Structure 1
Amino acid sequence: MDFSLQKIFLIVMFAECFVGVALHVFVVAFHLMRWKTLKSQKTYTKILTCLAISRSFLLLHMSLFNILLLFFPWVFHNINLRSTFLVEVNFLHFTNLWITTFLFGFYCVKITSYNHTLFIYLKTRVSRLVPHFIAACILISLASSLPFGYCVFYLPQYISANVSMENMTMHNTAYKENARNKTLLFLVGSFPPFLIYCVAIYLLIRSLWHHTREMTSSEKGFQNPNIEAHVKAVKSMTLFLFCSILYFVCMSILFSDVIHDSNPWKMVNPIIIFALPSVHSAFIISSNFKLKQTLIEIYHSLIKCF
């Protein structure tokens, strides 16, 4: 890929990273200020705060990784540093995925009206179990990411011009095996939370849509504000499900190394990965009146200052 084109893609990723981190820092600061003022914090705001923190670190870490990979590739010739970076980025990815799963699992338990024993049990205890669930998310993410440092072996970034054909064949075989190892570890670590996440969103959509149909049958069309709110929630959850599937597919492609380095899609893929968590956070802000109003006030204040 042309180096100038790589720089353009990198600038786009930096812009996405800046906007995403700014949104996440705003969410964290807003909830911490309200926690300080009210001396208490709602359960879902605790989960949102942890999610915003994990996403900020993920965006910053992936930005640093792309900078080093583009401008200082020799840094990754060190096997220990390469393994450390790989473990860290996967730890942040798994943490983000598990906390997101926990967030929608919490919504599913609190919003839906299923009468199953498990739902009733969780509905009465989920608020007290939040710290334990967050700690479990971090520990599971750490356990899922550590194999990347031990099981994925180091491969040099270049092949000397004087190597034999046999060595080149061995290198290509090792590279393919390395890619398979990374993909397998990624899928094993990502599939359980992703599956739970999809099931939680499906149950939410099913419950909300069923409730919307019941309300519609007793009202005159969709003019009732409660019905409109439920329809909006169904559309939002459907959008989140689509974004999650797209994110999972892009991350799988990134780890599988099926795209050659000279292919422009090699850089487009991280751009999509950078955008999706920020889009989700932006939607959370826009759907929360207090968050949205505070952000607008900050924006107008900045405009006046400049």
Structure 2
Amino acid sequence: MSNVIKYVFLIIEISEFITGICGNGFIALVLCADSLKSKTISLLDFIFTCLAISRIGMVFILLLDGIRIVFHPEILDSHQVIEVTFDFFWNLSNSLATWCAACLSIFYFLKLSSFSHPFFLWLKWRRNRVVFTIMLGFCLSLFFNLLNIKFNTLRVSDHLEIENNLTWEKCMPKTQYYSSQILLHLGSLIPLAVSLILFFLLIFSLWRHTRQMTHHAKGSKDLNTGVLVRTRNTLTSFIILLVVHYLATFMLTWFYFTLENDVTFIAAQTVAFLYPAIHPFILILGSRKLRQISVNLLRQIESCVKRL
């Protein structure tokens, strides 16, 4: 019965993988083609592109790990370097996605929020410079992150060269290895906390501005009010997906060395898949350029189907 449940979750993950590849691939291809055509790229498009590329890596790693759980659950115990390699690419893609989400929250907060504090106004005028500085800080953090993972890889290789017959638990205690991985995930709480705080402040600012516009309009329909409401709903859905994703990823790391139930693990993986699979379509609907290109693409596909 447990094997049947694992196959069901794997089928769900495959569908989420296809959805994530289509959404993130569309964003990356459109923005890269647009930047090559215009020979320039805006800061927001650059963040979108990095976010899409990182989430493509995330869905690949999650799918491969799901296939591993269903067909070869014992492979990580007998091939230590494979496990460290999985962790390397997972931390790379997850860290990139975390900091891109933080930069996105900072960009939208400084662009759309309306606060009268002098420090906020000073930051608002230097929006691009602030976001660019944060991204440089992310690069430094990512460098130390990769050094830590590389150090773990070298330690595993050294132990394997000394005694090939030692098991994973003997050559490197599993709890020690995954404790370092949990610390890496705890480090991602900083950009996650920044994203949540800024998005909540932005939603509060949009809600207050919407109330003021509705009050002054005296019940008449206002186009700008509708745009603000859609923006607020988009941000709310993003916050929900982001929190669910990072709770699921933390549970995945914890389950690696505290739980032997593969069904629970693959179920947590399926939940972690939701953020990189669904959020790109929220970005497409929220961006006028991406939305128009997607509508034109769907119309071309529909016309080709009718011709057939």
Indicate the TM-score class for this superposition, using the shorter chain for normalisation. Answer: 0.7 to 0.9
Letter aligned with residue 63 of structure 1: L
Counterpart-to-counterpart distance in 1, 2:61 and 2:80:
18
Question: Is the 8 Å Cα contact of residues 9 and 267 (structure 2) preserved in structure 1?
Answer: yes
Question: Is the 8 Å Cα contact of residues 25 and 52 (structure 1) preserved in structure 2?
Answer: yes
Aligned match of 2:163? none
Counterpart-to-counterpart distance in 1, 2:82 and 2:267:
25
Deviation readout 1:259-289 (Å, 9 max, x if unpaired): 7443633222111211222222101111223
Give the alignment's TM-score, normalised by structure 2. Answer: 0.81
Aligned match of 2:164? none
Instruction: Report how many residues are paired.
Output: 289
Deviation readout 1:94-133 (Å, 9 max, x if unpaired): 1101111101110001111223444333323332565554
Counterpart-to-counterpart distance in 1, 2:36 and 2:180:
46
Letter aligned with residue 56 of structure 2: S
The 1:181/1:32 distance shift into structure 2, 3 A limit, reads closer
Question: Is the 8 Å Cα contact of residues 66 and 266 (structure 2) preserved in structure 1?
Answer: no
SS in structure 2 of the partner of residue 113 of structure 1: coil
Aligned match of 1:276? 275
Aligned match of 2:292? 293
Letter aligned with residue 45 of structure 1: D
1:121 maps onto 2:131 in alignment:
no
Shift of 1:148: 4.8
Counterpart-to-counterpart distance in 2, 1:107 and 1:130:
10
Counterpart-to-counterpart distance in 2, 1:235 and 1:299:
24
Question: Is the 8 Å Cα contact of residues 57 and 93 (structure 2) preserved in structure 1?
Answer: yes
**Matched ranges for 1:89-238 at <5 A:** 89-128=90-129, 132-144=133-145, 146-148=147-149, 150=151, 179-187=178-186, 189-221=187-219, 223-238=221-236
Give the alignment's TM-score, normalised by structure 1. Answer: 0.82
Aligned match of 1:47? 47
Moved more, 135-144 or 59-68: 135-144
Moved more, 29-38 or 50-59: 29-38
Letter aligned with residue 250 of structure 2: S
Aligned match of 1:61? 61
The 1:75/1:149 distance shift into structure 2, 3 A limit, reads farther
Counterpart-to-counterpart distance in 1, 2:193 and 2:68:
33
Q: What is the identity percentage for the equivalent residue pairs of Structure 1 and Structure 2?
A: 24
Letter aligned with residue 282 of structure 1: F
SS in structure 2 of the partner of residue 40 of structure 1: coil
Question: Is the 8 Å Cα contact of residues 245 and 274 (structure 2) preserved in structure 1?
Answer: no
The 1:184/1:38 distance shift into structure 2, 3 A limit, reads closer
The 1:299/1:227 distance shift into structure 2, 3 A limit, reads closer
